[in-house]
């Protein structure tokens, strides 16, 4: 018996003894789909009035649709680091793109691989290249972009040489995913991660999709938004190709499908077109849909905050994989910070409405992005119908009443200084707790600690 088979046999025996999870004796597969730059309210699966995501709508009808799902940041690398580790950016310290996710962090792929799952990942942008640490735990990580990309061409990015391409179109991602499922689908359990990059700028949809989304109004912004929506529709179609393959191969019943996005897109709501510079809701509220026939309820809309960092512990809970160790044997990795929501997901129950969502604005050297001046890191706290946004180096402290002003247009920090101060204290406490991550100074580099101290964020 191979070690992989032995681990599986032990796992199956353990699960069978557990008794209360029907069907848990047969380990299930995980298909994790991460769509880059997918703003929740631009998905028809979430009520958008143009048919951008019919396949996601069908997936939601067959599973759970989470309405209050949040990315921890509006930046690709840091968000994926949280999705993979269950840690917040102040703990994993990937606080901008181009930094390396430290090997000591324990990823979802590592825990599934060690429990006997075959693992494979398809990255569709150079941002998630293996050299940045995202391939940890994957037997195979596909990150070659020289031939299959969009109009984006960069020879160099964050000081790193590319292979000439920067990204992969959805058609190519779908082909790779389907080929992998055809080859390994029957050899489960497996974990396949597929990243989709097309909604990210540049917005250059295939012509067949572009014609279906004519601009609503004249001008550069309506034209760009229309192309963005066409890119979403193209991605949705290609995700459908993969879901069809699951059906065709008879794998759908034994596969937990989880679809998320790493962040949204601003589309000029707060003076910027893309993402990264702000953490207003249009850039951090993301779609999240989970389908697992017979194991998760179908057609249920779940309210209450859920975060990308909740994904690793929740998925481990659903698949019956106990987490042990921290990956590298040194015992120095921080404890997972996301919540195991598997019981609530199985019940299709609403999530704790008072859960505080911690947000992180990526680090910038002082500069101007578009027309927005950015400097250092920023943070946000979203709790009890209110949202505080602070970026001390930019002199930004804003307070929004989300119930009365969901678009975050009227800053109430001057009118409600006591509430702002109360939330700032709570944010500081939460940041300090998450920065330490049960692992004290090691989690945050010295420079990071100094910055947090300067902001009054450590005690
Ligand atoms: Zn992204």
Measure 448 CA to ligand 1 centroid, in angstroms. Answer: 23
Contacts for 399 with CB less than 8 Å, ≥ 6 apart = 386, 387, 388, 389, 411, 412, 413, 416, 419, 420, 423
Measure 262 CA to ligand 1 centroid, in angstroms. Answer: 5
Two tokens at 95?
């606080």
pLDDT in the model for residue 145 = 80
> How many alpha carbons fall within 13 Å on the CB side of residue 415?
6
pLDDT above 70 covers what percent of the chain?
A: 84
pLDDT in the model for residue 360 = 97
User: pLDDT-derived band of residue 439, with 50, 70 and 90 as boundaries?
Assistant: very low
Contacts for 15 with CB less than 8 Å, ≥ 6 apart = 21, 24, 25, 27, 320
Q: What is the mean pLDDT of residues 306-320?
A: 97
Instruction: Give the Cα separation of 29 and 19 in Å (integer).
Output: 20
pLDDT in the model for residue 436 = 78
- Do 117 and 189 touch, CB atoms closer than 8 A? yes
Instruction: Give the Cα separation of 355 and 383 in Å (integer).
Output: 7
56 has pLDDT over 50: yes
pLDDT in the model for residue 3 = 45
Q: For the ranges 8-12, 278-282, 354-358, which has the lowest average pLDDT?
A: 8-12
Measure 306 CA to ligand 1 centroid, in angstroms. Answer: 18
pLDDT in the model for residue 149 = 65
Q: Alpha helices of 259-391 — where are they, by DSSP H?
A: 281-284, 311-319, 342-347
Q: Full-prediction pTM beyond 0.85?
A: yes
Cis status of the peptide bond prior to 189, with omega within 30 of 0? yes
Q: What is the mean pLDDT of residues 303-310?
A: 98
In tens, the pLDDT along 392-426 reads: 999 999 999 999 999 999 999 999 999 999 999 99
Instruction: Give the Cα separation of 253 and 246 in Å (integer).
Output: 9
User: pLDDT-derived band of residue 382, with 50, 70 and 90 as boundaries?
Assistant: very high
Closest of 127, 155, 123 to residue 142, by C-alpha:
123
Two tokens at 393?
């180096």
Measure 403 CA to ligand 1 centroid, in angstroms. Answer: 27
In tens, the pLDDT along 1-42 reads: 344 444 444 444 344 333 344 444 578 999 999 999 999 999
Measure 8 CA to ligand 1 centroid, in angstroms. Answer: 34
Q: What is the mean pLDDT of the chain?
A: 88
pLDDT in the model for residue 166 = 81
Measure 400 CA to ligand 1 centroid, in angstroms. Answer: 25
Domains, the chain, with CATH or none: 3-347 (3.40.720.10), 357-454 (3.30.1120.10)
How far separated are the first and last CA of the chain, in Å rounded?
A: 53
- Cα torsion at 330, 332, 337, 339 (round to 10°)? 30
Q: What is the mean pLDDT of residues 206-225?
A: 97
pLDDT in the model for residue 196 = 97
Q: Which residue has the tokens 């293996």?
A: 130
221 has pLDDT over 90: yes
Measure 260 CA to ligand 1 centroid, in angstroms. Answer: 11
Instruction: Give the Cα separation of 228 and 204 in Å (integer).
Output: 8
Instruction: Give the Cα separation of 395 and 393 in Å (integer).
Output: 5
Instruction: Give the Cα separation of 215 and 224 in Å (integer).
Output: 8
């Amino acid at each position: 018996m191979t070690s992989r088979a032995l681990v599986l046999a032990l796992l199956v025996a353990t699960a069978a003894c557990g008794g209360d999870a029907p069907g848990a004796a047969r380990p299930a597969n995980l298909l994790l789909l991460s769509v880059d730059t997918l703003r929740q309210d631009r998905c028809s699966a979430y009520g958008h009035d143009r048919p951008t995501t019919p396949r996601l709508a069908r997936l939601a009808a067959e599973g759970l649709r989470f309405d209050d799902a949040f990315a921890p940041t509006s930046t690709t690398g840091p968000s994926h680091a949280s999705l993979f580790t269950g840690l917040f950016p102040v703990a994993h310290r990937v606080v901008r793109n181009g930094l390396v996710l430290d090997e000591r962090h324990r990823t979802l792929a590592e825990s599934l691989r060690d429990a006997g799952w075959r693992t494979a990942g398809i990255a569709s942008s150079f941002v998630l290249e293996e050299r940045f640490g995202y391939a940890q735990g994957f037997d195979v990580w596909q990150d070659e972009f020289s031939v299959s990309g969009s109009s984006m061409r960069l020879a160099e990015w964050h000081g790193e040489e590319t292979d000439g391409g920067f990204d992969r179109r959805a058609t190519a991602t779908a082909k790779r995913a389907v080929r992998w499922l055809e080859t390994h689908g029957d050899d489960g359990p497996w974990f396949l991660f597929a990243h989709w990059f097309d909604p990210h700028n540049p917005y250059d949809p295939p012509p067949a999709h572009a014609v279906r989304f004519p601009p609503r109004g004249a001008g550069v912004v309506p034209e760009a938004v229309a192309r963005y929506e066409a890119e979403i529709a193209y991605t949705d179609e290609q995700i459908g190709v993969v879901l069809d393959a699951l059906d065709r191969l008879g794998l759908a019943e034994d596969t937990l499908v989880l679809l998320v996005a790493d962040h949204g897109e601003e589309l000029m709501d707060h003076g910027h077109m893309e993402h990264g510079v702000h953490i207003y809701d249009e850039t951090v509220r993301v779609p999240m849909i989970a389908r697992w026939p017979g194991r998760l309820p179908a057609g249920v809309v779940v309210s209450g905050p859920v975060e990308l960092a909740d994904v690793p512990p929740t998925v481990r809970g659903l698949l019956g994989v106990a987490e042990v160790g921290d990956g590298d044997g040194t015992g120095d990795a921080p404890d997972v910070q996301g919540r195991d929501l598997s019981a609530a997901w199985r019940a299709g129950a609403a999530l704790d409405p008072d859960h505080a969502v911690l947000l992180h604005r990526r680090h910038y050297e002082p500069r101007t992005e578009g027309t927005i001046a950015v400097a250092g890191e920023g943070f946000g706290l979203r709790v009890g119908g209110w949202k505080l946004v602070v970026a001390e180096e930019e002199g930004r402290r804003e307070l929004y009443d989300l119930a009365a002003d969901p678009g975050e247009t009227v800053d109430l920090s001057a009118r409600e200084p006591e509430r702002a101060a109360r939330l700032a204290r709570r944010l500081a406490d939460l940041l300090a707790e998450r920065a330490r991550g049960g692992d004290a100074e090691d989690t945050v580099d010295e420079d990071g600690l100094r910055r947090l101290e300067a902001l009054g964020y450590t005690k």
